[in-house]
Amino acid sequence: MRLAMGLSYNGQAYEGWQSQLSGKTVQDRLEAALQKFTQTRVQTLCAGRTDSGVHGLMQVVHFDTDLERTDQSWLRGTNRYLPLDIAVQWAREVPREFHCRGSAISRRYAYVLLESAVRPSVEVGRVGWIYRPLDLQAMQQAAQYLMGEHDFTSFRASSCQALTPVKTMTHIAISRKSTSPNTAYWRFEFEASAFLHHMIRNLMGCFVKIGTGDKPPEWMAEVLAARDRDAAAPTFSPDGLYFLGPRYEDHWGLPERTAAYDSLP
């Protein structure tokens, strides 16, 4: 049978998603838990790799197994052997033709940014930080230049292994929640056909430049057209970045969100 799982994790303690020799990745922890639960070696594939320090609210994986268990058994049995900062949110048997990455029609990310004169403490690692006020209208104007199909080379890390830099951005939403006269949480949501390595963090660096008034909104269009990483702002912190997960066609019957979505600041 082929099994799909949705899991959430706090990425602060891990060297990203993908398995490493150090064993300090989310994939390593998940596969170790599955091995203890099933007493067999299990290899997983994921919908989207995340970098060191990046969080996941609905990472989707799949794997093949000869074992038959109920969905609830897979969930509880795997979670028993996972560390407290990783949790399976759901488990479903899926058809053999399902592929967690190949079947996805889009991917979603959110970036949470704290605007405050004082650096974060309780939320350290869970939010990015900016001490200067941001201009919502300017950033929303800049976001419009990114919509649709574009070559996003300017926002691509040199180590990116994607076959093409051309992606289709379908949604960007920017909102601000004020908690005091001088403090606010910003939330940037992105949805696209797929994302390049460091693409969101590089976009965030540009949004902050524009939001603080260092660059005009039109600069985003110039950076995009340049197709040159040197044209963009420095890569922003991974601390406030969350992989919200992929979207699939309805016929797969998989959830679009988990309870972990409500944990964002």
Distance CA(52)–CA(126), nearest Å, equals 13
Beta-carbon contacts of 254 under 8 Å, excluding residues fewer than 6 positions away, are 4, 6, 60, 92, 94, 248
- Burial classification of residue 45, based on how many CB atoms lie within 10 Å of its CB (0-12 exposed, 13-18 middle, 19 or more buried): middle
Q: pLDDT band for position 242 (50/70/90)?
A: very high
**Average confidence (pLDDT) over 7-31:** 95
Q: Where are the beta strands (DSSP E) in the chain?
A: 2-9, 45-46, 55-64, 86-94, 106-115, 128-130, 148-151, 166-180, 183-192, 241-247
pLDDT at 227: 96
pLDDT at 181: 83
Segments in 48-192 forming alpha helices (H) = 71-80, 136-144
Q: Any catalytic annotation for residue 51?
A: yes
CATH architecture, domain defined by 2-101 = 2-Layer Sandwich (3.30)
**Average confidence (pLDDT) over 84-111:** 97
Contact 223, 19 (CB under 8 A): no
Q: For 100, which DSSP code?
A: T
Q: pLDDT band for position 125 (50/70/90)?
A: very high
- pLDDT at 265 exceeding the cut of 80: no
Say which of 51, 64, 228, 230 is annotated catalytic: 51
Neighbouring C-beta atoms of residue 125, cutoff 10 Å: 15
Contact 16, 49 (CB under 8 A): yes
Fold match, 2-101 / 106-242 = yes
Neighbouring C-beta atoms of residue 247, cutoff 10 Å: 16
What are the tens digits of pLDDT across the range 189-232?
A: 999 999 999 999 999 999 999 999 999 999 999 999 999 999 99
- For the chain, the structural domain boundaries read 2-101, 106-242
Distance CA(188)–CA(131), nearest Å, equals 17
* The model's pTM: 0.95
pLDDT at 71: 95
Which CATH number does 106-242 carry?
A: 3.30.70.660
Contact 3, 69 (CB under 8 A): no
pLDDT at 124: 94
Residue 209's Cα: distance from chain center in Å?
A: 22
> Among residues of the chain, what percentage have pLDDT more than 70?
100
What are the tens digits of pLDDT across the range 171-183?
A: 999 999 998 888 9
Least confident of 55-64, 99-108, 156-165: 156-165
pLDDT at 231: 97
252-256 contacts at long range (C-beta below 8 A, 24 or more positions apart): 252/94, 252/98, 252/103, 253/92, 254/4, 254/6, 254/60, 254/92, 254/94, 255/6, 255/58, 255/89, 255/90
- pLDDT at 52 exceeding the cut of 90: yes
pLDDT at 182: 85
